Homo-oligomer: A and B are copies of this chain.
């Protein structure tokens, strides 16, 4: 029995009160997550799960973090997609329970796969579009532009080959 959630007559949800420790950990993940361009709520959710010995339900996240159900749902969706969070079956409870995945390699791999690779892939199309434009470009600049676009192509190829390697460097 985690916290005594007894039948208090208060109309307000009663401050869910995060411990100082939890707040500090969450803060770390909020920063981290913003750095990689994901919304704060994702960091809050992951941070709380990371601090929690047992899996939590969407509902607990909503209460303890004071965020909306919508945010929690969307945040969990992202975390699930990158494999940062794992659903845990709990007997006799219809609700989903989630636990934080703590293997760095998995987290990075998931982020690369879901957030970075798709961009690189769309870059391939972009590049061929640029090459097609090259034909109709002003002849005077043509040589220069051709060189630059080829440079872009090099970058792109290099990125595509290096990103996956990154995963290998971890753990």
Contact = CB atoms under 8 A, between A and B. Distances in A.
Interface in A106-135: 116, 119, 123, 126, 129-130, 133-134
Contacts of A145: 21, 51
A136 interface: yes
Interface stretch (A5-13, A76-84, A87-95, A158-166): A158-166
A60 interface: no
Contact of A37 (B37, B141, B148, B155): B37
A144 B53 contact: yes
Contacts of A134: 21
A18 interface: no
Interface string A46-58: 0000110100000
Main secondary structure of the interface of A (DSSP, over half): helix
A169 interface: yes
B37 A35 contact: yes
22 contacts: A20-B137, A24-B126, A24-B129, A24-B130, A25-B148, A25-B149, A28-B130, A28-B152, A31-B119, A35-B116, A35-B119, A37-B37, A50-B148, A51-B145, A51-B148, A104-B154, A104-B155, A158-B170, A162-B169, A162-B170, A165-B169, A166-B166
